[in-house]
Chain A
């Protein structure tokens, strides 16, 4: 398990083949996995909020969809990945509690997923797979030797994206 690179909440990191990038317990947060299949460089961000522009305390770039994706892309390109080769996979964005009131905090998962898609679209990075929504947590692993994103849940099975 020495080749496992952990990404925490509001955190991002990159890894090269044969390392595996992982983030545990995504709830309303969204995990954005980027992968260049030629250089076999992968990147993973665990974002908590849709936009750095709505929040005063925005120093941690990895916390927001808009700043985290740009930052992750830059680090990957600096490490030798080519932007044109990079594809994205998304997971998370669940609604963990089901209050009938549809207020902001309760819809944050959905808003995180929407913001992540918008940022990726604006950067012309294709989203080739996605497992978002629902009301359950996810642990994800990006295998940089294959680009496969493994999504594990409690009670909702395991998926390969």
Chain B
């Protein structure tokens, strides 16, 4: 039997939200260490959304965004994706590399690599909270990064979710450092078989 995220009840959603919360908290701590600055975090918004509506949250389907994708393997398989609007990607790179770039087109190989590393750390923190809460072994791959239209990047998680329903599990996290706010979006994309495993491990289904 496969369970669809549309059919999750309030309690099950709360569990997923709490994981989002803890994961984002760990990610903020990791980011603070990396930047050597105090990083605050707003309470993440966890939503189950129709994927038709997701591009609107990222400034429209043809808005230029950065997507970082990691393959996950172990007791559950699937993907985790971290998406950033270009203005936030630029703020992160500027903070990390001590630059003052005005345009994403100015990113060097090194800047892209730094951004990948941020994606790696954030996704890693999120996965490690998921892993310790569920006692499941979850291993992320090295990250892959692409800069393109929001709709095109989103097609990757949307297609995977599309096999089981018309919605995605979407976690929006805002990190605050001094005057800057950086809003990032996580998508946890378990494959069809991993849903059950994940929800069983969380104790929400028997």
B67 CB, nearest partner CB in chain A, Å: 7
Is B137's CB within 8 Å of the partner chain A? no
Is B71's CB within 8 Å of the partner chain A? yes
Please give the number of chain A residues whose Cβ is less than 8 angstroms from any Cβ of chain B in the complex.
32
Which among A36-44, A78-86, A116-124, A136-144 touches the partner chain? Answer: A136-144
> Are A27 and B151 in contact (CB-based, < 8 A)?
yes
Complex-state Cα separation, A94 to B141, whole angstroms? 21
Q: B43-61, CB under 8 A of A: which get 1 and which 0? A: 0000000011001000011
| Residues in chain B near residue A97, CB distance under 8 A | 67, 69, 144, 146, 156
Complex-state Cα separation, A105 to B160, whole angstroms? 7
Interface core residue of A8, A25, A99 (most chain B CB under 10 Å): A25
Complex-state Cα separation, A80 to B32, whole angstroms? 62
> Are B152 and A96 in contact (CB-based, < 8 A)?
yes
> Are B155 and A9 in contact (CB-based, < 8 A)?
yes
Q: A45-67, CB under 8 A of B: which get 1 and which 0? A: 00011000001110010010000
Complex-state Cα separation, A97 to B165, whole angstroms? 23
Contact of B162 among A11, A63, A96, A101 (CB under 8 A): A63
B132 CB, nearest partner CB in chain A, Å: 26
Please give the number of chain B residues whose Cβ is less than 8 angstroms from any Cβ of chain A in the complex.
35
| Residues in chain B near residue A29, CB distance under 8 A | 155, 159
> Are A154 and B156 in contact (CB-based, < 8 A)?
no
Is A24's CB within 8 Å of the partner chain B? yes
> Are B62 and A139 in contact (CB-based, < 8 A)?
yes
> Are A139 and B149 in contact (CB-based, < 8 A)?
yes
A156 CB, nearest partner CB in chain B, Å: 10
Given A57-B164, A105-B79, A137:B148 Cβ within 8 A: yes
> Are A24 and B154 in contact (CB-based, < 8 A)?
no
> Are B152 and A138 in contact (CB-based, < 8 A)?
yes
Q: A1-42, CB under 8 A of B: which get 1 and which 0? A: 000000011110000000000001111110000000000000
Complex-state Cα separation, A18 to B143, whole angstroms? 45
Q: B61-99, CB under 8 A of A: which get 1 and which 0? A: 110100101010000000100000000000000000000
> Are B71 and A101 in contact (CB-based, < 8 A)?
yes
Complex-state Cα separation, A25 to B150, whole angstroms? 7
Complex-state Cα separation, A105 to B141, whole angstroms? 15
> Are B60 and A24 in contact (CB-based, < 8 A)?
yes
Is B40's CB within 8 Å of the partner chain A? no
| Residues in chain B near residue A57, CB distance under 8 A | 4, 163-166
22 contacts between A and B (CB under 8 A): A8-B52, A9-B154, A9-B155, A9-B158, A25-B62, A25-B149, A25-B155, A26-B155, A27-B148, A27-B155, A28-B156, A48-B159, A63-B166, A96-B152, A98-B144, A99-B69, A99-B71, A99-B141, A105-B156, A105-B191, A137-B151, A139-B151
Identify 15 new A-B residue pairs, CB closer than 8 A, beyond the known A28-B155, A57-B4, A57-B164. A9-B61, A9-B154, A10-B162, A11-B52, A25-B62, A26-B155, A27-B149, A27-B152, A48-B159, A49-B163, A96-B156, A137-B152, A139-B62, A154-B64, A154-B148
The 8 closest A-B pairs by CB, nearest first: A25-B151, A137-B152, A27-B152, A27-B155, A24-B61, A25-B61, A137-B149, A25-B149
